[in-house]
Amino acid sequence: MKHKPLSEQVVVITGASSGIGLATARMAAERGARVVLAARSGDALAKIQAEIEGVGGKALHVVADVGNRADVQAVADRAIATFGGFDTWVNVAGASIYGRLREISDEDHQRLIQTNLWGTIYGSLVAVEHLHEQGGALINVGSIASDLAFPFQGMYAASKHAVKGFTEALRMELMVEDAPISVTLVKPASIDTPLPQRARNYMDREPSLPPPIYPPEEVANAILHAAVHPQRDIFVGGAGKAFVAGKEFAPGAYDHMGPAIIAMQKRGIPPRDPAGALHAPVPAGVTRGDPPVYVMRTSAYTRASLHPLATAAGLLGVGTVAALTLIGTAPARRKRL
């Protein structure tokens, strides 16, 4: 399946006010697409739309909470009314919580699932109703947490596991129907976005992301590649693919890495905004965060994986390295597993 050139597409992006969503919106507009921006932060969206239109692009913004199906339907309705429809729908909106699962309130857990899982479900189902006739691309942004669990981000990992299961089931159903819709799951590793600062934080330290960290533009490039040249799954960040492959090879060894993973998610400064943006929007409009470590310029693995002839060799090499890495870092008691 191949879709229209990006310059002929209308692209809907949820979570477009910051991070990966904003990077994707800007890149899509630069490549000639008409973009529909959706998020809770109306002021930020209005500024982004003005920015895009100021350089000759075409954009529309719709204030919406993806956890509310009526809001999501309104995004689709506005896109159809303004641009006559849409060709690609990208579900990016998401949130996280840092802390022990048993210490987090039910209200916070429920809000995260409402955004990450139900937001993706609503967006996907609304999108495919429109795309079923004319064809197009549905792109869901999962995470390497769709395949891995992270202590102190347990409900985030649970939501991304669920997004993967939903996305794969929906893909299969659309294939049975012979629907002209491609379904792609994008799985970023650690990405330099404001996600840690915007997360609900129960820890006594400011949250961080485990290195290596990749730029949000790398995810945006993968998303927009899939909008034209569909792929089933795309890992963004070779390190993420390595950890997933290594965990599959030696799951017990990965389990014993819990203390190290927790330590890598804490910065050496007190929390700055523990409430975050889980329940209400906060100032937005930026793609990057402020990680205390170096941010990679690109991901050679991801760039190669977007070209099918390079994928097989890359997967073999990454999987081998991952397995050796995990075996080397696991405690001696792994032999009893």
The active-site residue out of 98, 156, 254, 301 is 156
Instruction: Tell me whether residue 156 is one of the annotated catalytic residues.
Output: yes
Name the token pair of 16. Answer: 């477009």
Report the alpha-carbon distance of residue 92 to residue 16 in Å, rounded: 8
**Amino acid of residue 268:** G
Over the Cα atoms of the chain, what is R_g? Answer: 19
CA angle, 30 then 215 then 272, to 5°: 115
3-class secondary structure, 3: coil
Q: Which residue has the tokens 């991801």?
A: 302
Torsion of CA 237, 243, 244, 246, to 10 degrees: 140
Report the alpha-carbon distance of residue 337 to residue 335 in Å, rounded: 6
Catalytic residues, by residue number, are: 156
